[in-house]
Chains A and B, each alone.
Chain A
Amino acid sequence: MIRVALRGLLGRKFRAVLTAIAIVLGVAMISGTLVLTDTIDRAFDRIFVQSYAGTDAVVQAASSDISFEGESATAPPIPEAILEEVRSVPNVEAATGSVFEETAVKVLDRKGEPIVKNAPTFGFGIDPSLSRFNPLELKDGRWASGPNEVVIDSGTAKDEDYEVGDSVKVATLAPVQDFELVGIAQYPGVESLGGATFAVFDLATAQRLLNRQGKLDAISAAAKPGVSPQELVADLDRTLPATVEVRTGVEQADEDSGEVAVFVAFIRYFLLTFGAIALFVGAFVIFNTLSITVAQRTRELATLRTLGASRRQVLTSVLLEALAIGAIASVIGLFLGLALAMGLNALFKALDLELPTTGLVFSLRTVIVALLVGIVVTLLAGLAPAIRATRISPISAVREGAVMPSGRLSRFGPYIAAVLIGLSVLLLGYSLFAGDLGIAERLLSIAAGVLFLFFGVALFSPKAVPRLAILVSPVAKWVVYALSVMVYPITYGKWLVKRGLFEEALPTGRRVLSVVGGALLALVVGPGILAALIYALSLLAGSVLAVILGAVLAVYVVVMTVWIVVMLVLRALHRGSAADQPSVRPDSTTDKLSNENSRRNPGRTAATAASLMIGIALVTFVAVLAAGMRDSNRKAIEDQIAADLIITSEDGYSPFAAGAGEAARRASSAETVTDVREEVANLAGSGKDITGIDPDRITSGYNFDWTNGSSDAVLAEMGTDGAVLAETFADDKKLQVGDRFEVEAPGGKKAEFVVKGIYDPSPFYPLLGSASIPLAEYEKLFEQNQNQFTFVDVRGEPSEAKASVEEAVAAYPDARVQTRKEWIDKEDKEFQQFLSMLYVLLALSVIVSVFGIINTLVLSVFERTRELGMLRAVGMTRLQVRRMIRQESVITALIGAALGLPLGVFLAALLVRALSQFEVGFKIPTGQLILFAVVAIVVGIVAALLPARRAARLNVLRALQYE
């Protein structure tokens, strides 16, 4: 039976390959994700481990490990005097102090714009004479040793074409200035820092630029030979004051990398989800394909039974096929994943989301996981068809046109579907609305609920297919008709070219005209019309799609040119022949036939459509959710911001130099300027964010939505110990107006505040912290000199006054001045980019389902060979055959869309309801949804290209005799 199974597979090589592709892509995504994240992990490892390689002990300010929503509080710097104390400890061989900044130091590009790419922009101040403590490696030049010298990272130097000796502008907390680039450096073993940059100054310069005169961020010490790091730490602990804390180099590296590891793990699971989705769709395709092949082999399998094959042997044979396909596909997918890892990295880079990398890490774990997952999924998908194969009764061996018995449970299909959908609603409801659930439980029950939902809908869909087919057929017909009209210049041009080249009967003059005219149509007129249409489409649905379609069109033009060249070559070789003349006349017979064919086997059509349904449901889900979120974002900003102009940092969420706020006050058009600062601290015992505001001026920039009787008046009463709270925080801690609570800053400073007022923050995007205190008090607790926002009210039109404010803050290039609308637009754009990335990742699943449709069509053409022969024998043209197959494909795809679009909207609605506390909006972007339907149609057309050709090319006589 093994031989039967494998030999059978070899005999159906082409079909087996098509089936295997379904799994290859999913496995490639998984393998690629693991490779990429492993690589990123190792790069970060190298960075952190090496940072502390020569260090036995690290001294920093004693921080209380405060963190809020994944962000830790920044430890304040420590006095320089501590360095001397460290050096005086006997076991210390050498010690050095350093200054370190994560976001405030930004290198400018040649256009004067700060280089900011959703990644940290490091600034270091080091003493280069003690190189053992220096993790960086000089690639060129030397270390900085003067107030106007800087060293930057090799990635930035390459991107911006900076060389040693050039003049580079760097923005810091001080006004921007020119520096001489004296050296280029990098972390050893790290190829790319992703989007991150760094600039290295000498210690004194860094202290001056970053407002740390007389202070250090960390002290690194090396022990005398024979002294272990732990001993050194103990020594230092005893000697140094309690305001600092000492760790070994290894401990420090571990702690630093811990946070990042969580982040990378998040990315890993995020990407793996898309791989899982692609595999899920692939499983559908395998299930469908194997079901069809088993049905087609009914007579063969029945014969085996008559010869004495047991049910178990039949089961094994089918499962073996699945295993073989799964194994080969997994191996190919595993290696394809390597290419995909590079592709993913390129995608991230294009969206300014790049992370550090080294050489690609291809671990054993990746191999095992990829192979295991691919094979298991294929086997599971093949289980149901294999079991059905065992039900083939031996008597089918003698019957002509034997039909496979439907599964024992198929009668109950709709009922099982109803049960599954019911279960899924329960699970989803539970996960979204039940009170005390851990995140893991919630996610798990959401995943299970969604899975059941998909299965339920898929099981139910055969019932819906006949009605849906009737519904979508006219849509399919007219849209395909419209598309073929649009493409007609091209198809006609192609025909003209072929006719001119190969039709011997025509006079030479006409032939030349035909070729030239045809080429013009196919290469110029046709694409021109399409380009105009794409442009019109871009106005409707956004530029990303237009770019993609434009790229497709460009590829097409190249392919078309190659095709013409090939035709010319064929002509020179005296081969090739003319083709049928294309027509765009509507053809009701073909349409009717294709309609009937889709409904013939609703189970099969449904299973094929289901694979596309999943992809479309997910894309719709993302689109609807995003539309709602963008609305909420806009509303949140519009509701909260009262100012004419807002100054933020370039990326919109990091803090920026306080000097910019001061400079803004000197702008000629500025009337009221007020700053807002923010930090993470312990508020009433929990890590929260706290903002410092100017009570006298804050209302010119921020609209408080007061509750509980508070009003703007309370701001005047804040005095030296008043605070206003966000209602969510007040409720959480059960604080009311008049209550007291304690604030503990990192570094240990504490202060008590009285609640003066409570306001309702915008839950979607609160701009202020859980609590806001007067800036004067804030400055006593936190050593920070950076603003989160600066609100500016101006004389006259904001958009006109903007120029004068921009001029005023010119020394701080990282500070961006924008009107409210401009800020909203920028956030929108970043949203769009993230959305595009999601679409690209989901596109993988759609591609898998395209192969699913191709598969089904090829198999069904094969099955209907005799029937197609008969149709041709009674007068159907090749063109009509192609059209019929294409129409079937489009109908199937549209059914997938008809199921997927509502499903996606439903899932989005569910999630919005679950996130109601964040006030996420719910908006149906109809334009985009229509676009998805059109994409489905295009998918149907593309999928049909190969099977339609095969069907049209059948030799009529042999087809009629086909057994």
Chain B
Amino acid sequence: MEASQNGAANGTVVNAHEITKRYGEGDTAVDALRGVSLDVERGKLTAIMGPSGSGKSTLMHILAALDLPTSGHVTLAGTRLGQLSDHDVTMLRREHIGFIFQFFNLLPMLTADENIRLPLSLAGEKPERGFYDELVKRVGLADRLSHRPSELSGGQQQRVAIARALVSKPTVVFADEPTGNLDSKTGGEILQLLHESVENYGQTMVMVTHEARAAATADRILFLADGAIVKDLGGAGEDEILDTIRDVTLT
């Protein structure tokens, strides 16, 4: 499959510079992020880990143009996010951003097939036939296309969500606790699928997770604590990740 295009020539797809996020004012202010900077490399799976309250979800939301930072800026696919109008952001979402949610977020009244095509049909487009069939086969849903979400298992629903995220060949896919709602066996299958998308098809992915096993599939792991990056690992095994977590939380 062709690799996803777009983005800076130097291989950085998303760039964050000195991102801070502050909630509230004065004495009751809470700093969710304090000056976080990072680059997301093309064709790699970047995991963001951290305990609750570390700001990992907040960071992803900001990277994914769902939220705005209090200060600092984000560049995605060569575009500065800060000054974009809602219309421009919407265009961005159609072309460059894909989402995978913890709770699947499928539309209950559409079939799996319709759910998958949704990002394209919103733009008034149709997926290329060959690509679509291959994608569906890749996620293993070829015989489930006409089913509604209520007729699918959790794992199958997440597969639909993954296909949906990939169907528009976005520059980057953001996954928010993709296995959080699945049992360990199914979760493992999903992680495998995500890993394949990155390895074999060159999809850039950013994943927020608290599971060491999920992070172990990543090419790079960023650890957040109290709103700042405290450790930046390259690819690591589960044990090393667990050790790092313990170190990070004890400090």
Contact = CB atoms under 8 A, between A and B. Distances in A.
B121 to A, nearest CB: 8
A238 interface: no
Q: Is the interface of A mostly helix, strand, loop or mixed?
A: helix
Interface in B178-211: none
Interface stretch (B47-55, B86-94, B132-140, B217-225): B86-94
A285 to B, nearest CB: 23
B87 A310 contact: yes
Contacts of B61: 395, 398
A313 interface: yes
A7 B103 CA distance: 21
A1 B107 CA distance: 12
B66 interface: yes
A1 B122 contact: yes
B101 A308 contact: no
Nearest to A302: B105
A963 interface: yes
Contacts of B86: 310-311
B67 interface: yes
Contacts of B114: 3
- In the complex, which of the residues A4, A394, A397 has the most CB atoms of chain B within 10 Å of its own CB atom? A394
Interface residues of A, number: 26
Contact of B90 (A3, A300, A308, A400): A308
Given A307-B119, A307-B122, A308-B122, A11 B94 contact: no
B110 A4 contact: yes
A307 B101 contact: no
A394 B109 CA distance: 20
A306 B66 contact: yes
A640 to B, nearest CB: 71
Contacts of A311: 86-87, 90
B93 A307 contact: yes
A8 interface: yes
Interface in A389-419: 393-395, 397-398, 400
A313 B91 CA distance: 13
Interface string B98-124: 010111010111100010001101110
A303 B90 contact: no
Interface residues of B, number: 30
Contacts of B158: none
B123 A308 contact: yes
Nearest to B87: A310
B164 interface: yes
Contact of B99 (A4, A307, A310): A307
B41 interface: no
A307 B66 contact: no
A511 interface: no
B57 interface: yes
Contacts of A309: 90, 122
A307 B103 contact: no
Contact of A395 (B66, B105, B164): B66
A1 B114 CA distance: 11
A301 to B, nearest CB: 10
- B67, B108, B114, B118 — most chain A CB neighbours (10 Å): B118
Interface in A652-684: none
B66 A3 contact: no
Contacts of B109: 4, 7-8, 10-11
Given A1-B122, A395-B61, A303 B66 contact: no
A299 B104 CA distance: 11
A193 B95 CA distance: 72
Contact of A310 (B90, B119, B164, B176): B90
Contacts of B101: 303, 397-398
Contacts of B123: 308
Interface in A259-314: 299-300, 303-311, 313
Nearest to B95: A308
Given A308-B119, A397-B99, A4 B67 contact: no
A3 B107 CA distance: 11
Given A4-B110, A300-B107, A398 B90 contact: no
Contacts of B105: 299-300, 303, 397
A393 B61 CA distance: 12
Contact of B122 (A7, A8, A304): A304
Given A3-B114, A304-B122, A398 B107 contact: no
A462 B114 CA distance: 40
A858 B108 CA distance: 20
A299 B107 CA distance: 10
Contacts of A397: 66, 99, 101, 105
A10 B55 CA distance: 40
A7 B87 contact: no
B110 A395 contact: no
A33 to B, nearest CB: 38
B73 to A, nearest CB: 18
B106 to A, nearest CB: 8
Nearest to B176: A398
Contacts of B99: 306-307, 397
A394 B62 CA distance: 12
Interface string A1-15: 101100110110000
Given A300-B108, A304-B107, A307-B118, 17 more contacts: A4-B110, A300-B107, A303-B101, A306-B93, A306-B97, A308-B91, A308-B93, A308-B122, A308-B168, A309-B90, A309-B122, A313-B122, A395-B66, A397-B66, A397-B99, A398-B61, A398-B176
Interface of B: 57, 61, 66-67, 86-87, 90-91, 93-95, 97, 99, 101-103, 105, 107-110, 114, 118-119, 121-123, 164, 168, 176
Interface of A: 1, 3-4, 7-8, 10-11, 299-300, 303-311, 313, 393-395, 397-398, 400, 963
20 contacts: A11-B108, A300-B105, A300-B107, A303-B101, A304-B118, A306-B93, A307-B94, A307-B118, A308-B119, A309-B90, A310-B86, A310-B122, A311-B87, A394-B66, A394-B93, A397-B101, A397-B105, A398-B57, A398-B61, A398-B102
Closest 8 CB pairs of A and B: A308-B94, A11-B109, A308-B93, A395-B66, A7-B109, A303-B105, A307-B119, A310-B90
